[in-house]
Amino acid sequence: MLEDKLLVLKCKHGDKEAMCRLYEKYKDYLLTLAKGLLGEQATAEDVVHDVFVSFAGLAGQFRLKGSLRAYLATCVSNLARDKIRRRTRQAQVTDSMNPVIQRQDNPAQNLIESEELTRLRQALNQIPYEQRETVILHLKGGMKFREIAGLQGVSLSTIHGRYRYGLDKLRSLMNSEVEK
């Protein structure tokens, strides 16, 4: 937290190395988050890139209140939500799958893991966005329910409900796939 405040201060004064350090520190976390929300590697990379470009443009005016990690996660989540809305408006439903890293030692295990990830992504895409966002922000993003409530602008009990219903729906979808 102290390191973040120092880096943000340096960014305000135009220090490019500080911006690079922030990018390196948070890019993997934010990319994982964006990929979980969007389901597409290329779009997730675009979102993370756009967040950092926007942050760099506003660095001179930026005042850090709280966690920079939570702030950047909120930016990624908001931009991902906008992309999904835009995609829905354009009626383009994309169901692209990210490649699974293949291990040379066990091709059968690679196939099983790939199929399981595909099923999970498909199930995630079938639950309402608010539930998906809550589940991903909590499980992959490591955000606390209170932070997610602030991000989504709803009560803490609503977030608990979205999380529970999202997990229940995922469980139901995954179990119905197994029974087929």
Q: Buried (b) or exposed (e) across 83-101, using 16+ Cβ within 10 A? A: bbeeeeeeeeeeeeeeeee
Q: If you average pLDDT over every residue of the chain, what do you get?
A: 80
Residue-wise DSSP of 84-128: HHHHHHTT------PPPPPPTT-HHHHHHHHHHHHHHHHHHHHS-
Fold of 104-180: Arc Repressor Mutant, subunit A (1.10.10)
Record the pTM: 0.61
Long-range CB contacts (< 8 A, 24+ apart) of 94-101? 94/40, 95/39, 95/122, 95/125, 96/39, 96/40, 97/121, 98/35, 98/39, 98/40, 98/41
Q: What pLDDT does 49 receive?
A: 92
Instruction: Measure the CA–CA gap between 97 and 17, rounded to whole angstroms.
Output: 35
> Per-residue pLDDT averaged across 123-130, rounded?
85
- Domain spans of the chain, in order of start: 1-96, 104-180
For the segment 70-125, what is each residue's pLDDT rounded down to a tens digit?
A: 888 888 988 888 887 776 655 433 344 444 444 556 666 666 666 777 777 788 88
For the segment 144-163, what is each residue's pLDDT rounded down to a tens digit?
A: 899 889 888 899 999 999 99
Domain 1-96, CATH number (from 3.80.10.10, 1.25.40.10, 1.10.1740.10, 1.10.510.10) = 1.10.1740.10
Q: Check if 1-96 and 104-180 are the same fold.
A: no
Query: Could you tell me which residues come within 8 angstroms of residue 167 by beta carbon, excluding any fewer than 6 positions away?
Result: 135
